[in-house]
């Protein structure tokens, strides 16, 4: 592509990283991610989000957290999509210390939890058996005016009773 004067941009690399990650080729995705700057392409929000998503999906939590740090070092501000796979991973791994760190980090970056993030936290914490924290987030969501619809409440109460 370079021989044909086709300029590759961050969107191309983000898409390539996403496809490689989805196909189970995480090492190749890491290589592409690391090689971007050698090719004269700066990483953007979507590039970081894609790599963080796949690192979390493959239980590479430390690498995902280091990516969050690298993002900020490169003046790339994380968004809610950056944090969601990290939060999900913390819930699955029952790592409340890192979960608290991430929530604090979100607050410091002026990123608020939306209804889908509350639902993710409640679902993942419930499934991992951490009902106390799940109930806290459920209560917090309701107090913030994010009341789930009837079906969502039934599913939550059925899951908590089953535990």
The domains of the chain, with CATH numbers, are 1-80 (1.25.40.10)
pTM comes to: 0.82
The DSSP output letter for 3 is T
Residue 29: the pLDDT is: 96
Residue 151: the pLDDT is: 52
Q: Which residues of the chain have pLDDT under 50?
A: none
Long-range contacts of 127-135 (CB under 8 A, 24+ apart): 127/91, 127/92, 127/159, 128/91, 128/92, 128/94, 129/94, 129/163, 130/91, 130/94, 130/96, 131/160, 131/163, 133/96, 133/99, 134/160, 135/160
């Amino acid at each position: 592509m370079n021989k044909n004067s086709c300029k590759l941009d961050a969107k191309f690399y983000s898409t390539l990283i996403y496809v490689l990650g989805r196909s189970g080729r995480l090492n190749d995705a890491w290589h592409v991610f690391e090689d971007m700057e050698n090719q004269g392409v700066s990483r953007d929000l979507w590039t970081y989000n894609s790599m963080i998503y796949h690192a979390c999906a493959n239980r590479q939590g430390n690498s995902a957290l280091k990516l969050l740090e690298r993002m900020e070092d490169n003046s790339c501000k994380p968004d809610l999509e950056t944090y969601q796979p990290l939060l999900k991973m913390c819930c699955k791994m029952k790592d409340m210390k890192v979960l608290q760190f991430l929530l604090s980090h979100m607050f410091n970056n002026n990123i608020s939890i939306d209804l889908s993030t509350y639902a993710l936290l409640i679902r993942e914490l419930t499934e991992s058996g951490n009902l106390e924290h799940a109930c806290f987030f459920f209560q917090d969501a309701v107090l913030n005016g994010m009341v789930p619809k009837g079906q969502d409440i039934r599913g939550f109460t059925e899951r908590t009773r089953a535990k």
